[in-house]
Amino acid sequence: MEILVASAVGIMTAAGIYLILRRRTFPVILGLSMLTYGVNVFLFATGRLAIGAPPILNKYADVPYTDPLPQALVLTAIVISFGMTAVVVMIALGAYLSSRTDDINMDDAATETGEDA
């Protein structure tokens, strides 16, 4: 189980970094979301991966438990990342509608400021 979750975190992180390094805005947004998902799975896995274990420590019974704090952190991170993604998508959509392309062309920015490319 731990190998599967660790592999999922690694794959999501690698895919997120790959997508962030693209020249278009929408793959960058998807990459940022993928990185967020990877971090959320990592945080969730820090609370122990026990199936059917309660999130409460019972002092009378010797049963495994899961830590509820990472679950609360992941829930908060999901809400924040959803709002952040919605704002970034609207900014990217506005940039796309004004320029009719979502390509990030750094050569045009360098020539406008007078820098050498």
User: What domains sit in the chain, N to C, each tagged with a CATH number?
Assistant: 2-113 (1.10.287)
CB 47 within 8 Å of CB 71: yes
pLDDT tens string 2-30: 899 899 999 999 999 999 998 888 888 99
Distance CA(25)–CA(99), nearest Å, equals 12
Cα–Cα distance between 36 and 61 in angstroms, integer? 36
Supply the DSSP string of 100-115, one letter for each residue.
S--B--HHHHHHHHT-
Residue of 115 and 54 predicted with greater confidence: 54
In this prediction, residue 112 carries a pLDDT of 57
Q: Check: CB of residue 49 under 8 Å from CB of residue 1.
A: yes
| Whole-number pLDDT of residue 63 | 73
pLDDT at 108: 59
**Mean pLDDT for all residues in the chain:** 82
Q: Is the pTM of this model over 0.75?
A: no
